[in-house]
Amino acid sequence: MEWIKYTIDTTEEAEDDIAYMLNSIGIIGVEIEDLRPVTAEENGGYFGDVVPEMPEDDHRARISFYLKDAESGGEGSVSASYDPGTGPVDVEEPEGTIPEILEKVREGLAEIATYCDIGPGTITEGRTREEDWVNSWKEHFHQFTISGVQIVPSWEEAEETDADITLFLDPGTAFGTGQHESTRLAVEGIRRYLKPGSRVLDIGTGSGILGLVALKSGADFVFGTDLDPNVPAALRENLEKNGIDPGSFAFCAGNIGDDETVQKAALAAGKGGAYDLVAANIIAEILAGITPAVPGLLVEGGIYVTSGILITHRQLVLDAIAAAGLSLIEEIPMGEWESIVAVKA
């Protein structure tokens, strides 16, 4: 089935008003593209990998929405919410035909323009097939090696390398490919401090990359937690691709920092109620919030590997580690990011 993609060329200033206007006429899901940097505060609920570096912000924005093409089997007036892994998801039908809906959009833009700079405010049309969403992101993910771990997407043949571990990984709609500095630092920390037979707690599981690396590196068991609803499906697929027993990687959705249900589930799965290594690739503000719970999840001598920390925010994590009674082992910078490793002495 084909979808018609309508894109409004506008400004960052007008983003929220335009999205609200589209929502009010029944277009529920929109895709917003801009170069505005994502702050740590805005990213506060996101576990896993982080956004890549982008060009300088030009304060322009593109807001897109999708309507089914009636001639290719669609209803002709159904909007869609957008998922980067699976494409548009049907929602309630806006009232009217496509021309009527577009006229409402133009009227809404004209009204917003009376009090806000909407830029050009033009609407362009494009077409895409539903299956294009499933495969387009694959163009940007290719195999690479971190700390002796070769990470290969399933649609590529593994190349000859000096890596001692090969991991087949498809991130899908769960983040965490390993290509960002924060994930690289976390992988390197696990490889450096993991002992064979360890039980590992992976906070902010994402695609499962850290837990999978741990299992491939000799861990006996991994327990993962995350807030992202896409994680279980991505994790099941990646375990299967690597021939790993699903029973060796348990998962519980929720925030282990303040959710007693998640904490109890993690403790029940730990070795005598605790873990040999806890890994967390999360922004500094969230790390500071979960760190008070970490000592109760670690065995004596257990290692706490953190990453996802902007160097400018490192003191938040250092203070939380000290307040929790953990002892600092090392800080490892990489670009603008840092990993902090501590031990329960």
DSSP-derived pairing of the beta strands 2-11 and 60-68 = antiparallel
Checking DSSP bridges between strand 298-310 and strand 275-281, what pairing results, if any? Answer: parallel
DSSP labels, 208-251: SHHHHHHHHTT-SEEEEEES-TTHHHHHHHHHHHTT--GGGEEE
- What pLDDT does residue 68 have? 72
Residue-level pLDDT at 290: 95
Give me the residue spans of the domains in the chain. Answer: 2-137, 174-343
| Whole-number Å distance between alpha carbons of 69 and 253 | 37
Closest CA relative to residue 18, chosen from 8, 5, 33, 26: 8
Q: What is the pLDDT of residue 271?
A: 82
pLDDT for position 136: 57
Per-residue confidence (pLDDT) for residue 26, from 0 to 100 = 81
Query: pLDDT value at position 91?
Result: 45
Distance CA 158, CA 114 (A): 56
Q: What is the architecture, at CATH level 2, of domain 174-343?
A: 3-Layer(aba) Sandwich (3.40)
Rounded distance, CA 64 to CA 9, Å? 9
Taking the C-alpha atoms of residue 301 and residue 266, their distance in angstroms, rounded to an integer, is 18
What's the pLDDT at 142?
76
Grouped pLDDT means (10 residues each) for the chain, 345 residues: 85 91 82 68 44 66 82 46 44 71 94 96 82 57 84 84 88 51 91 97 92 96 90 90 94 91 92 93 91 96 95 95 98 93 97
CATH class of 2-137: alpha beta
pLDDT of residue 333: 94
Q: What is the pTM of this model?
A: 0.65
Structure tokens at 107: 């009227």
